[in-house]
Amino acid sequence: MPPAVVECVPNFSEGRNAQTVDALAAAVASAPGVALLDRTMDPDHNRSVLTFAGAPGEVLEAALRAVERAIALIDLTRHSGVHPRIGAADVVPFVPVRGVTLAECAHVAETFGHALWARCRLPVYLYEASARRPERRRLENIRHGGFEALRDAVTDKADRRPDIGGPELHPTAGATVTGGRKFLIAYNLNLTTSDVAIAKQVARAIRASSGGLPFVKAMGVPLASRGLAQVTMNLTDFETTPVACVFEAVKRESARLGAGIAGGELIGLIPKAALDERAEWFRTLENFHAGCVLETRLDRALAPRGTAA
């Protein structure tokens, strides 16, 4: 039986200070047996994403070390960006890769949550496969209103209090959301316009919560650094709703509103099964290289020393 491999993809509320992101990556790398596979940071979103993998217990320890570092370095009271957030370490998902089930990842996430509260006094919300309440399966329901609104709501609204720890949020680091989940593709499309209202209309038309495409989360945001509007998306089940389907929907809705596609980008890694190098969406990617493929990066990182991946 192959050794169990879990992927963890924490999102941190810092995308402008490279030294802070370096420190978070170093915290992950300090955990024995864990392979740091990828890192991205975005100044407009003011957000960074690390991807690492290994055995469940080793990945859990790496995540604890990274979040502990984030608490020390990131102050949400001084943070701003176009991406919603409730925590310095905003969301820390655990994803089954090999030899492990989604249910087992859900258990890893809950164990991580209890350890995080005990070790750092950071309250935790459980989502996706780890959710204790049906309404908390969806991340956007937990994150509604962001850090500032949640900080005020937890004092008098029982339905907004954390699942682990609390009830108050950490004064500068907020709270963390964690859970076991399936592979998620973080995919953004930049439009040939700076009008964020168009991007918001497109996002509303395509996202599942507005009656659009199943398993698609989307919002429209400005990219001040490029003078463009962006449709930023999470595709939570690419087998049901392929990337090509999402691309065509954004292209169609944008054209209807007088805009086109300027380019696309992936945040983090993408499973090999989701790729189609002949498709238009793939040809518009601005940041794709072989190392963007999860399996390629995993094979390289986890290959025994002295052997070719």
Mean pLDDT of 27-48: 95
Which pLDDT does position 300 carry in this prediction? 83
- Is residue 303 situated within a structural domain? no
Out of 153, 180, 207, a domain closes at 180
Q: For residues 42 and 142, state if they share a domain.
A: yes
pLDDT in tens, 145-182: 999 999 999 989 999 999 999 999 999 999 999 999 99
Among the options 45, 83, 107, 114, which is catalytic?
83
Q: Are residues 157 and 214 in the same domain?
A: no
* Phi, psi angle pair for 289, to nearest 5°: -150, 170
Which of 270, 244, 261, 267 has the alpha carbon at shortest distance from 202? 261
For residues 56 and 196, state if they share a domain.
no
Amino acid at 189: L
* Cα dihedral 247, 141, 41, 219 in deg (nearest 10): 30
Q: Beta strands 11-12 and 89-98: pairing type?
A: antiparallel
Q: Which residues contact 217 (CB under 8 A, 6 or more apart)?
A: 139, 140, 207, 208, 209, 233, 234, 235, 236
CATH number reported for the structural domain that contains residue 141 in this entry? 3.30.990.10
> Could you tell me if 134 and 274 lie in one domain?
no
Do 251 and 205 sit in the same domain of this protein?
yes
pLDDT of residue 8 exceeding 90, the answer is yes
Is 83 an annotated catalytic residue?
yes
Task: Tell me what pLDDT residue 307 has.
Answer: 40
Boundary of a domain, candidates 180, 208, 229: 180
Residues 264 and 152 in one domain: no
> Are 167 and 190 in a shared domain?
no
Total residues found in the chain within this entry: 309
- Reported confidence tier of residue 1, pLDDT bands at 50, 70, 90: low
Which residues constitute the domain of residue 118?
5-180
Total number of domains in the chain = 2
The closest alpha carbon to 235, from 187, 279, 280, belongs to 187
- Tell me whether strands 185-191 and 261-267 are parallel, antiparallel or unpaired: antiparallel
The mean pLDDT value for 20-36 works out to 97
CATH code assigned at 272:
3.30.70.670
Average pLDDT over residues 77-101: 96
Q: Which of 155, 180, 205 is the last residue of a domain?
A: 180
Q: Is residue 307 a part of any domain in this protein?
A: no
- pLDDT of residue 2 exceeding 80: no
Q: Based on the fold, state whether residues 174 and 206 are members of the same structural domain.
A: no
| pLDDT digits 0-9 by tens, 94-112 | 999 999 999 999 999 999 9
